[in-house]
Amino acid sequence: MSTFWSIWITVITLGSIFGCLGLLWMCNKNDTGVKEGESMGHSFDGIEELNNPLPTWWKYLFIFTCIGGFIYFALYPGLGAYKGLLGWTSTNEYQREVSSADDKYAAVFNKLVKTEESNFTEYREITDIAKDPEAVKVGQRLFLQNCSQCHGSDARGAKGFPNLTDNNWLYGGTTTDIKNTIMHGRNGVMPAWLSVLGDKKVDLVTTYVVGLSGRRVNARDEAAGKEIFLQTCAACHGADAKGMTMLGAPNLTDKIWLYGGSRKTIEQTIKYGRNGAMPTWSKILGEDKITLLTGYVYSLNVK
């Protein structure tokens, strides 16, 4: 925060409290020339206005409130950049709560993901975790908290966010693959081809890709598109177009689409590229929780 805004806020805040005290002081002094408790000299419908002082209890309450305000601003951050005598911050508070919750639940997570025989030092097989109803339930809760905003609360994904229940994987579906994906994140890089290939060639290769999943297309365009595909796209998607999990390049021969399978969307993808990003979780969640999440995701795919 710049010094100017810091001073601005401080002046307005303190000014308001002093303003309140000033108002009290003004209302409290009797400069009407009428003695306390006597008539101000006018009446309406027989109701007379008397020069009564403010009630004492009210006056003191007002003063104590203002003093309370000053004490609060001395102890807590509220005056611009001033940090307060207690050094309280919402971040500290949050971290304290999180770490006390972590302490409480770490033992629970640990018991669920490690083997009893190893005295809870070695990880269980994820395939076993995926069969343990209690571990899966906890994994699901972690998923709802951390993953559902992108992958959906049922893990079925959305445009650009893969479905995690269809046993169809960009980055591989072994327990090791899934755990690696969650631990370290993934970045799918599909380059943009419009400036490289131009409209005509993009059109031909789009025809080829559309034909790959079984739709009828113009055979001559398809053959020309295949040439382009082999030269330009096969390095990542494979000569058979079945994809490459190492790069997260999707299989283009099935009917499962990350970004949509209409001709228009496919052309859009090829022209302008795509850049799907799965965040890294190792630092945020730690390996125990990620192991539970892996078990949960894995369990969604074993039928």
Per the rule left: phi > 0, alpha: psi between -120 and 50, beta: everything else, 271 is alpha
Instruction: Give the one residue of 138, 210, 292, 297 binding ligand HEC; rule: CB under 6 A.
Output: 297
Contact positions with ligand HEC (CB under 6 A) in 133-152: 143, 146-147, 149-151
Determine which residue in the list 59, 131, 156, 186 makes contact with ligand HEC, applying CB under 6 A.
186
**Contact positions with ligand HEC (CB under 6 A) in 90-119:** none
Binding residue (CB under 6 A) for ligand HEC from 40, 189, 219, 223: 189
Q: Which is nearer to ligand HEC, 138 or 209 (CB)?
A: 209
Q: In angstroms, rounded to a whole number, what is the distance separating the alpha carbons of residues 169 and 240?
A: 17
Task: Identify which of residues 69 and 261 has a Cβ nearer to ligand HEC in the complex.
Answer: 261
Provide the Cα torsion 95, 99, 100, 101; round to 10°. 100
CB 151 within 8 A of CB 160: no
Closest contact distance (angstroms) between CB of 17 and ligand HEC is 44
Please report whether residue 292 would count as binding ligand HEC according to CB under 6 A.
no
The owner of tokens 């500290």 is 92
Q: Does 169 bind ligand HEC (CB under 6 A)?
A: yes
Opening angle at CA 100, ends 94 and 105, nearest 5: 120
Among residues 130, 135, 270, 292, the one that binds ligand HEC under rule CB under 6 A: 270
CB of 209 to ligand HEC, least distance (A): 5
Biggest CA–CA distance in the chain, Å, is 107
8 A C-beta contact, residue 176 and residue 284: no
Q: Which residue is nearest to ligand HEC (CB)?
A: 276
What is the C-alpha separation between 181 and 270, in angstroms, rounded?
A: 25
Q: For residue 157, what are its two tokens?
A: 């994904």
170 binds ligand HEC (CB under 6 A): yes
- The least distance separating ligand HEC from the CB of residue 2, rounded to whole angstroms, comes to 32
Residues 6+ apart with CB under 8 A from 297: 139, 143, 155, 164, 178, 182
Q: Give the position of tokens 């031909």.
A: 204
Residues forming the site for ligand HEC (CB under 6 A): 143, 146-147, 149-151, 160-162, 164, 169-171, 178, 181-182, 186, 188-191, 193, 205, 209, 229, 232-233, 235-237, 247-250, 252, 257-259, 266, 269-270, 274-279, 281, 293, 297
